[in-house]
Amino acid sequence: MGLLSKKDAKLITDPLADNNPITIQVLGICSALAITAELKASIVMAISVLFVLGVGNVVISLMRNIIPSKIRIIVQLTVVAALVIIVDQVLKAFAYELSKTLSVFVGLIITNCIIMGRFEAFALGNGPWKSFLDGIGNALGYGVILIIVGFFRELLGSGTLLGFKVLGDPIEKTGLYAIGYENNGFMLLSPMALIVVGIIIWVQRSRNKELIED
């Protein structure tokens, strides 16, 4: 991290663990539940949020001195929505295939409270460069949890990873299925995402006792 001062580097590394947006700040839960049945979707969502949060934080930070406080929520939401819609339209025109994969995520990104949460908590009070780092850091922290949840749900739920049948074929009874293993279809249902996140919190807090709530 030669390019970044120690303080700046902390902006990126903090949200990865001790100040994770999902497990500590409780932001962006809805999308973490909706799209994690598959590892691929989790990765796509993580990348999209990385982009939107990075750029959005910079834009809001640049505007922070001219936004009237009374209508700041509208302004913030408008900025995210406009940003996402423009990107969506451009992709539709020039990279149609890609836009089809991403179209599902457009709504989820706009309503993702992690974005609003970081605008409100950080970008409104800090300069563009710091806001950018904060955005990237939080998006990465968010992505890490998404990918962990997606990994377990896809592996245990459908016995695949990124679509590859890593555990053998359930219908032909090869691999693990030959000795009687069955996929747990329950993992595919959204409530299980909540429980997986709960377990991640458990593991994280047992490793770092400072995070334990009373």
Partner 1 sequence: MSNKTDSNVYTILFAIGMVVVVGTLLAFTAASLKPNIAENVRLEKQQNILYAMGVNENDESSAVFVDKAQAPELFKQYITKQLVIQGDDISEDDEAYLIDIKKQKAIGKDDPSKRKLPLFVGEKDGKTYYVAPIYGKGLWDAIWGYVSMDENMVVQGAYFDHKGETPGLGANIKERFFMDDFIGEHLLGDNGTFKGIDVAKGNADPKNENKTDNEVDAIAGATITGNGVTAMIKSDLKLYKPYFDNLKNN
Partner 2 sequence: MEHIELFFKSIFIDNMVFATFLGMCSYLAVSKKVSTAVGLGAAVIFVLAVTVPVNWLLDQYILQPGALKWLGAEYADYDLSFLSFIMFIATIATMVQLVEIVVEKFSPSLYNSLGIFLPLIAVNCAILGGSLFMQSREIETIGLAFNYGFSSGIGWFLAILAIAAIREKIRYSNVPAPLRGLGITFIITGLMAIGFMSFGGMLTGGDDEGKEETQTAKVEQVNENEDNKLAENTTTINE
Footprint on this chain of partner 2 (rule: CB under 8 A)? 23-24, 26-30, 33-34, 70-71, 73-74, 77-78, 81-82, 84-85, 89, 106-107, 110-113, 116-117, 186, 189-195, 197-199, 201-206, 209, 211-214
Calpha distance 57→38 (Å, rounded): 28
Structure tokens at 88: 């969506």
Does 40 interact with partner 1 (rule: CB under 8 A)?
yes
Q: Which of 3, 66, 179, 212: binder of partner 1 (CB under 8 A)?
A: 66
Coil, strand or helix at 161? strand
- DSSP assignment letter at 19: T
In angstroms, how far is CA 135 from the centroid of its own chain? Answer: 12
Calpha distance 175→193 (Å, rounded): 26
For residue 161, what are the β-bridge partners? 164
66 binds, among partner 1, partner 2, none (CB under 5 to 8 A by kind): partner 1
Does 191 interact with partner 1 (rule: CB under 8 A)?
no
Structure tokens at 7: 């303080």
58 phi and psi, to 5 degrees? -65, -45
CB of 3 to partner 1, least distance (A): 32
Positions that interact with partner 1 (CB under 8 A): 34-38, 40-41, 65-71, 74-75, 78, 82, 85-86, 89-90, 92-94, 96, 103-104, 107, 153-154, 157-158, 171, 183, 185, 188-189
